[in-house]
Amino acid sequence: MTFMKHRIVFFILNLVGLTIVAQERTFESDAADVYMSEQQKRDPELTMKSFVSAQKSQVILEMGGRDGLSYVTFDKTLGVVEVKKGMSEELGRVFSSQKGDPDPMRFDFANRQFCLKGITDFDERTNHVILYEIDMLEQTILSTEEIGKLEGDEFLKEFRFSALDWNLSPDGSKLVILYKLPETKDDKGNTIYKFNFIVYDS
């Protein structure tokens, strides 16, 4: 990736909200604005599974139906722009995980799509933190970067307990990725909790 990357040693927590504008605002409050599109015919067997990507002019949703998964691109009025069936074998491997590893996490940053994944190599006794840049519409991997590693005394047999996670700054210009390092003890026997933070600038 071409983002500026920094490592920091303090904790950052932001609550990020996402608003998708369809067509007409029908409700407004201090907490949220609700938008409603015009009624459109939809296959009743096709249900939304998750958001894939939300850009200024388009939204991509993962939809499930009788024929399996579909990736549907909508314009800002919720008109269907494109439908692609199924997930490629390449991305299927990215979004799969072995027992004991964290579930892969998909997100958007700087108008690009990413997947954050933790992978354990038991033979090498190493935990890998991998960041994939992906294209969900084209169903391809654009880049792969190892951004963290735990090995030796830091190795975790159950990497799912590493608290691997991500978050965006309120303005969306910075991405923070964090994961837990093994706990240590001070001279008095108190537990010391340590985390590794990686920050990207858009």
CA distance 124 to 101: 15
pLDDT tens digits, 43-102: 556 676 666 766 667 777 777 766 666 777 777 777 777 777 767 788 888 888 888 899
State pTM to two decimals. Answer: 0.65
18 CA to centre of own chain: 14
Q: Which residue has the tokens 């038991």?
A: 122
Q: How far apart are CA 198 and CA 177, in angstroms?
A: 5
CA distance 156 to 101: 10
Q: Share the mean pLDDT of the chain.
A: 77
Tens of pLDDT, residue by residue over 100-130, are 899 999 888 988 889 999 999 999 999 999 9
pLDDT of 176 over the 90 cut = yes
Which residue in this structure is represented by tokens 């009788």?
A: 66
